[in-house]
Amino acid sequence: MSGEVAEVIDLARKEMEKSVDAFRHELARVRTGRASTALVENLQVNYYGAKTPLQKLAGLAAPEPRLIVITPYDKGSMHEIEKAIQTSDLGLMPMNDGKVIRIPLPELTEERRRELVRHVRKIAEEFRVGVRNHRRDANDMLKEMHKDKQIADDEVRAAEAKVQAFTTEFIEKLDGVLTSKESEIMEV
């Protein structure tokens, strides 16, 4: 295989890998029965007129399975942090004692768990489509190279087969991550 073909295949593989990593990161923000600082770390807080991620304004910890503790670096930002949590779509109620903000996580109902599973399946499908788009882009590049007579027919077929193998592999990885998250959500 020529160097350009290997580059196209390698680029597709790297992009597919990034999709799986991004999916894992996205799922970390989906609430399960356990407390996770990933749930709130990227909340945008209005800090002196600038939207700032919470993780840059405060120390975050999950000392108990149903509790997130936020320790602001600047006590003056406490009210804005509380406001950001209350106005988010997380449905959480922060408690402020003047030094730290505690966020108790309520027990998930069966209905809410099913809703979350539907939500993560939808996210998974979006990432599957992303992986397939990377396959399409790689195949388009290979066809363009073939059209420009840079590579032969059999080389195109071999490269497309390799790209398809990566597509299958990374979609299976996405499905594995999804299955793991689903069982974590449904765990009582």
Distance CA 96, CA 155 (A): 64
pLDDT value of position 133: 96
Which residue positions in the chain have pLDDT lower than 70?
Answer: 1, 31-33, 89, 188
pLDDT value of position 31: 67
Is the CB of residue 143 less than 8 Å from the CB of residue 111? no
pLDDT value of position 109: 82
Identify which of 55, 74, 65, 77 has the alpha carbon closest to the alpha carbon of residue 103: 65
pLDDT value of position 107: 79
Q: Going from the N-terminus, what domains does the chain have, and what CATH number goes with each?
A: 3-29+109-186 (1.10.132.20), 37-104 (3.30.1360.40)
pLDDT value of position 163: 95
